Structure 1
Amino acid sequence: MLSEGMIIKGRVVRLEEYGAFVEVPLFPENPEDPQVVTGLCHVSEVDRDYVENIFAYLAEDQEVEVKVLNIKEDGKVDLSIKQADPDWEPEPTQPRRSKLDKDFDKRLRRFMHQSQMIQGEARRQRESRR
């Protein structure tokens, strides 16, 4: 039975700008079983590089190897061609930093430094009154 994480062969049955519909066997362990299910390989899951034109990468009736990413409760199947590649590794995600973030960090450091100085001065004054 088809399950998440499996890497199997499928056939592209339809191409759209947003992805490829790929027909995969419902029971990959039994090649004689004719039952198939169609899943979507989103354009972002076709190749490691940015895919501007999916029609330049894939063609209808083309055989592809796909990884089953998700099987939803409604029966929809999410597939990935790029993750089926044995050499594929997810790119490390780093938070995007903008100039506003840098300015915020600078202001926050300045505020923290000033507040520590004020707290230290208040502590010294409190101790000198004792």
Structure 2
Amino acid sequence: MRIGELSRATGASTRSLRYYENQGLLSSDRRPNGYREYGEEAVRQVAFIQDLYRAGLPSQIIRDILPCAGPTPPPGECTRLLARVRQVRDELARQEHAIAQRREMLDRYLAGTAAPAGLPSRAEDQ
């Protein structure tokens, strides 16, 4: 299938597909006229790439993950990679916790139940 067909099948722009190929995430064969030709498995691969990007993974990690998601994963490398993906997930959880704490602080300020350290809140003034 050509790049336009892959774009329609996946919802990814042709620019994104070229970027994925440039990053080593997707491959194509070139026709004699220079057009890219993708196999049927490219639809699934593009969907997987998009999911991993939405999950916040950078191209480098996605490039390493792709062989592990294939029909014959390379021996040994995937265990190490899985640990790296868990680290990324755990960092996201830490960031979520920090954001939740910051949001709660702002909520308390907006509700008038919090004030800068050492000063009474509006609720205490009343």
Q: TM-score range by the shorter chain?
A: under 0.3
TM-score by length of 2: 0.27
In terms of fraction of residues, the more helix-rich structure is: 2
Structure with bigger gyration radius: 1
